Structure 1
Amino acid sequence: MYRALYAFRSAEPNALAFAAGETFLVLERSSAHWWLAARARSGETGYVPPAYLRRLQGLEQDVLQAIDRAIEAVHNAAMREGGKYSLEQRGVLQKLIHHRKETLSRRGPSASSPAAMTPSTSDHCLAAAARQPNGVCRTGFERQHSLPSSEYLGAAGGLYQIPPQPRRAAPATPPPPVKRRDREALAALGSGSRHATPSAGSSVSSGSSVSSTSLDTLCTGSSLSEGPSGSPTPPPVPRRGPHTTVSQAQPPSQGPVPDPPAEEVAGDTPSAPEELEALSALSLGTTEEKAGAETAVPKTIGAELMELVRRNTGLSHELCRVAIGVVVGHIQASVPASSPVMEQVLLSLVEGKDLSTALPSGQICHDQQRLEVIFEDLAQRKDDAQQRSWALYEDEGVIRCYLDELLHILTDADPEVCKKMCKRSQFESVLALVAYYQMEHRASLRLLLLKCFGAMCSLDAAIISTLVSSVLPVELARDMQTDTQDHQKLCYSALILAMVFSMGEAVPCAHYEHLGTPFAQFLLSVVEDGLPSDAAEQLPDLCTNLLLALNLHLPAPEQNVVMAALGQHANVKVFSEKLLLLLNRGDDPVRIFNHEPAPPHSVLKFLQDVFASPATAAIFYHTDMMALIDIAVRHIADLSPGDKLRMEYLSLMHAVVRSTPYLQHRHRLPDLQATLRRILSEEDASPQCQVDRMIVREMCKEFPALGEAPS
């Protein structure tokens, strides 16, 4: 306990104003110039200058009462804020509880007061505050998985279980607090304990150093002043330097704290041997502890760090890995003694691929838990007959929160965790979402579902196979043709349908009732004529990509519904120009994902199907035809032996010569002849080169002019 010798008032934030004679309980000696203290009368906490205080030899019962009042003041302040404990309040509570336990331990087991026998309820409140999001202490808290996450429902109903955070330093007034081990040693010295020896768990290694600021705090009370001060004038208000830090080396004589009165020195001066004993116990550690700390790195530390950073920052899985790697690498470079431990942490970070299996036994990835909840609740809403009624729209906000969180997790979480959850029970969750999309007619929810389907397609080819066989392609095709006014939903429908068809897998025969020639003609009309709602002209490109993707799964040109629609359409000038532009760039707009097995090049396959029949080959104008031949001949000449694309271009050129009057205009014939002869003379025995030579022989056999020497 300390008593104020003078009145004090300051404009510094977090500084306590007090009158002369008030008593304080010191919680932390933050620096030589500022101490964290609690007012004994009201429990109010703040920073006070130690030069204004004088230590009292009070009863421990008074100290306990002051601590209890301070704890109650913190609880009352938190309740006024809705029951939420800030990080500063958590830190103050921890210091108060620690101080209370130390005071009780000094009283010994023989103390019979209720304060000594009854544990402080703040321990339980603080633990509950650490377990609840934002430190909320409340009973009857709803179960974690009953509503969407707090990130999407607002701060009031948070459900993410955030572990207690370390206490931040005060914003402006005091410098950052010293390490906890230093604080414990200082508290032991300040309390007058003669035999305060840190335990093995709280001692630090010999490489650690005690900051000079902490030594200033020790020496403030032990250094004798030059003479007693009889002046009633208070000393000058201490000010914090612009660059004050915890480890700043500064002798006590240079600090702004004036010499305290002589009577204070006499009451607060421990002997020099006691200080040396405590400091040696604080700064010396055993070699066994260091060796044990270096080897005791769990294999799951990388996955645990990923989970903590992802859960508390909201960063994506990859950004979490980058952030942890940068921090650990910097610590390894800056603190050479920690290099072996940091190296093991980095190895664990690299090796931990799947969070769902890399976490310690008994721990479940938070994203996995949330996916289970979202899939389960959405399936229940799908099966709820009452929610299918057109009049019940009160669930839209909740469903929107679920879908927003689902999209966020599918996009940013560990892909392996998302794959595992989507594939569970033979893709039951994915098929449930498809069924929910079919029965949901609200445009905003349908749009969110489409985004979720797109995120699922990016995870794995098996999910795309499931969606191809589901009712989703039929529903999307029907929706595109019936609702052309909602431009955003129409664009997303075309994009998702192109993703579903991007792997070139066979479509169930029943789907052709909605995906046949009429649907292909609708897409061609959108490309050529556009829609009134498409002011940005996004739909022509999207429908072009969809036609290319739809054509991928049609192997026989004579039964190709896209080619049938192309032959029936009077004018496809815009569409043919877009095809030539894609061919010239070498782009495949349908190859959105890197899933295996890779499908054929959609543009080359489409052109090969176009030139498989003279009826569809006539869609190109003469100048466009010459440009197409230029592009094909250039690629055949430039591509290296063994490249799969060279075989595709050779097949395309063979189809062009067969279905068009090429031998009449003979555009770029000498270049083509020279390239074909070079391919025949290649000695590469790879299977791909053998296929190329076989195609060239077929071309020269069918059209002998191609095999002649260029003139």
Structure 2
Amino acid sequence: MDRRLTRRMKLRRSHSAKPWGQSKKTHMIPETLYNDLVNNVRNRVNISHTMSKAVVTIIISYVRDSVPSLKNVMQEILQQQDKVQLPDELDYSEDATALHGLFKRIDLLNANYEQRNYSTQEDENTTADTLSSIFDILLGADPEICRMVIAEDNYNNVELLILFYQLVLDDFFETRPKIREMLLRIFGRLCFVDNYIISVLVSSVLPAELARDMMSDELESLSEEFVVFLLTMVKDVLGTEEASKVFGVILACNLHFHMPEKNYVMDALVEVKQVDFFFEEMFFLHSIRVDLVHFIPQEDSRDAVVKILTDVFARSDTATLMSINKQIILVDLIFTRLVANWKQNKISLDYMTLFYNMLKTTNYKQHRHHEHEFRDLFEQITGEELETAEVKRARSIINKIRNEFPDLF
């Protein structure tokens, strides 16, 4: 019999059980019953672990509420969902077994590529299937299972994927971007499953390989012309999922630039000229607090929408693209966010920088929107007794504003 199956059966028999029901017969409730049901639903119906838990919980709750004689039993099973699973229980789950097998395939593929022992078309199909299966499991399995398998042998499985990326970048796959894209999606999902993997990836050769990839001839199309194409094309699909993806690409491109005067995203906006639709989308994303490029939960990640608006007003040629009415709306948004954060003892330095840029590149004196309110807020911030780094930086921005616009603030 398969070693893992035998081990799983032993685990089931070894768990203590509790009496089931109130009848004269003694029924036992296995302590892993809830998780067993979840795993069975996931494996047989092929839905995510989260959805499987929801299905099992709904059914058991319905039985509990509908059959009074089973109320205590069903409630006891429901309480098992808070129980932390033992490593052995996780390791011998079907998802863990599948992940182990898939990473063994990656190890074998690495060996084949290093020895140049492959059949091009057949190997590409096998690779695509393997990577797709890994991504699907990372997306749908219990995160605890994924974390456990990934962290084995000091994150050796992550190192296997990094080595694989190196090999396919150098090899015949360089003409098949689909494989590289699938690997990058896996790296992104890994970071979401376990934040520590970000440190593992940053400390590896992957950043250097990504930089080499980005500078290759195939990616020369990432330029001003490319962004102009995106801006022109997206106008025909506004309000659709495709439009969101396009705006996400533009926002992601802009995050790479630290000098607005050398930013081809800004150059593209100037080239297109009529970009009201773009600013309206940025306002909409800001209002619903959606960041299209923020995939990995990190408290210190920069807001891509605020970044691109800050860059727009860092240059006079892009600042003039926004109408006065929209500028007033933006001043409203800035003031509202600054006040809301200040009430929570937070200072929004990005918004202060955005406002400072607007003062420099637009005719704020024409409308002076929230002038007095800004002055009062600046007084409160500069009068703050705490000497934190954030407060000091905020004071520095306010002092610049006061020195350059003394008649306003």
What corresponds to 1:571 in structure 2?
271
CA distance in structure 1 between the partners assigned to 2:138 and 2:214 by the alignment: 21
CA distance in structure 2 between the partners assigned to 1:537 and 1:329 by the alignment: 41
Question: How far 1:423 sits from its partner (Å)?
Answer: 4.0
- 2:87 aligned to which of 343, 357, 378: 357
What corresponds to 1:213 in structure 2?
none
TM-score of the pair, normalised by structure 1:
0.44
TM-score of the pair, normalised by structure 2:
0.72
1:416 is paired with a residue whose SS is helix
Q: Is the 8 A contact 1:434 1:472 kept in 2?
A: no
2:121 is paired with a residue whose SS is coil
- Post-superposition Cα deviations, 1:319-357, rounded to whole Å, max 9, x if no partner, equal 1111111222223223333333322221211334xx573
Gaps spanning 5+ residues in structure 2: where? Answer: 10-19
CA distance in structure 2 between the partners assigned to 1:691 and 1:599 by the alignment: 18
What corresponds to 2:161 in structure 1?
430
Q: Is the 8 A contact 1:526 1:543 kept in 2?
A: no
Within 5 Å, which residues of 2 pair with 1:492-531?
A: 519-521=222-224, 523-527=226-230
Give the partner amino acid of 2:210.
L
CA distance in structure 2 between the partners assigned to 1:326 and 1:543 by the alignment: 39
Question: How far 1:704 sits from its partner (Å)?
Answer: 1.3
What corresponds to 1:601 in structure 2?
303
- 2:316 aligned to which of 613, 617, 621: 617
What corresponds to 1:472 in structure 2?
210
Q: 1:474 to 1:414 in 2, by over 3 A?
A: farther
Whether 2:96 is the aligned partner of 1:339: answer no
- Name the one with the larger helix percent: 2
- 1:636 aligned to which of 334, 342, 347: 334
1:595 is paired with a residue whose SS is coil
CA distance in structure 2 between the partners assigned to 1:205 and 1:539 by the alignment: 53
Q: 1:561 to 1:435 in 2, by over 3 A?
A: farther
Give the partner amino acid of 2:144.
E
CA distance in structure 1 between the partners assigned to 2:233 and 2:115 by the alignment: 37
Aligned residues: 372
1:706 is paired with a residue whose SS is coil
Question: How far 1:599 sits from its partner (Å)?
Answer: 0.7
What corresponds to 2:105 in structure 1?
377
What corresponds to 1:581 in structure 2?
281
Whether 2:357 is the aligned partner of 1:655: answer yes
Q: Is the 8 A contact 2:248 2:292 kept in 1?
A: no
Q: Is the 8 A contact 1:481 1:522 kept in 2?
A: no
Q: 1:596 to 1:674 in 2, by over 3 A?
A: closer
Q: 1:404 to 1:380 in 2, by over 3 A?
A: same
Give the partner amino acid of 2:327.
I
What corresponds to 1:305 in structure 2?
37
CA distance in structure 1 between the partners assigned to 2:62 and 2:218 by the alignment: 53
What corresponds to 1:706 in structure 2?
408
Within 5 Å, which residues of 2 pair with 1:181-580?
A: 207=23, 285=24, 289-290=25-26, 293=27, 297-352=29-84, 357=87, 359=89, 364-385=92-113, 388=116, 392-424=120-152, 425-426=154-155, 427-438=158-169, 439=171, 440=173, 441-442=175-176, 445-446=179-180, 448-464=182-198, 466=201, 469=207, 471-472=209-210, 474-475=212-213, 478=216, 480-481=218-219, 519-521=222-224, 523-527=226-230, 540-551=246-257, 554=258, 557=259, 562-563=262-263, 566=266, 571=271, 573=273, 578-579=278-279
Question: How far 1:316 sits from its partner (Å)?
Answer: 0.9
Q: Is the 8 A contact 1:356 1:364 kept in 2?
A: no
Q: Is the 8 A contact 2:42 2:48 kept in 1?
A: yes
CA distance in structure 2 between the partners assigned to 1:520 and 1:642 by the alignment: 42
Question: How far 1:373 sits from its partner (Å)?
Answer: 1.1
Question: How far 1:317 sits from its partner (Å)?
Answer: 0.2
- Post-superposition Cα deviations, 1:191-230, rounded to whole Å, max 9, x if no partner, equal xxxxxxxxxxxxx9885xxxxxxxxxxxxxxxxxxxxxxx
CA distance in structure 2 between the partners assigned to 1:478 and 1:638 by the alignment: 44
Question: How far 1:446 sits from its partner (Å)?
Answer: 4.6
CA distance in structure 2 between the partners assigned to 1:596 and 1:538 by the alignment: 22
**Identity within the alignment, %:** 18
Give the partner amino acid of 1:604.
V
- Post-superposition Cα deviations, 1:284-318, rounded to whole Å, max 9, x if no partner, equal x3xxx54xx4xx54443333332233223322101
Give the partner amino acid of 1:359.
E
CA distance in structure 1 between the partners assigned to 2:366 and 2:399 by the alignment: 20
Q: Is the 8 A contact 1:549 1:590 kept in 2?
A: no
1:472 is paired with a residue whose SS is helix
Give the partner amino acid of 2:301.
P
Q: 1:376 to 1:366 in 2, by over 3 A?
A: same
Q: Is the 8 A contact 2:165 2:180 kept in 1?
A: no
- Post-superposition Cα deviations, 1:484-536, rounded to whole Å, max 9, x if no partner, equal 7xxxxxxxxxxxxxxxxxxxxxxxxxxxxxxxxxx5545434445669xx9x8
2:69 is paired with a residue whose SS is helix
Q: 1:448 to 1:607 in 2, by over 3 A?
A: closer
Q: Which has the higher contact order (CA 8 A, sep 6+)?
A: 2
1:369 is paired with a residue whose SS is helix
CA distance in structure 2 between the partners assigned to 1:653 and 1:206 by the alignment: 69
Larger Rg: 1
CA distance in structure 2 between the partners assigned to 1:396 and 1:436 by the alignment: 13
CA distance in structure 2 between the partners assigned to 1:530 and 1:477 by the alignment: 25
Give the partner amino acid of 1:418.
C
Q: 1:473 to 1:300 in 2, by over 3 A?
A: farther
- Post-superposition Cα deviations, 1:227-284, rounded to whole Å, max 9, x if no partner, equal xxxxxxxxxxxxxxxxxxxxxxxxxxxxxxxxxxxxxxxxxxxxxxxxxxxxxxxxxx
Question: How far 1:669 sits from its partner (Å)?
Answer: 0.7
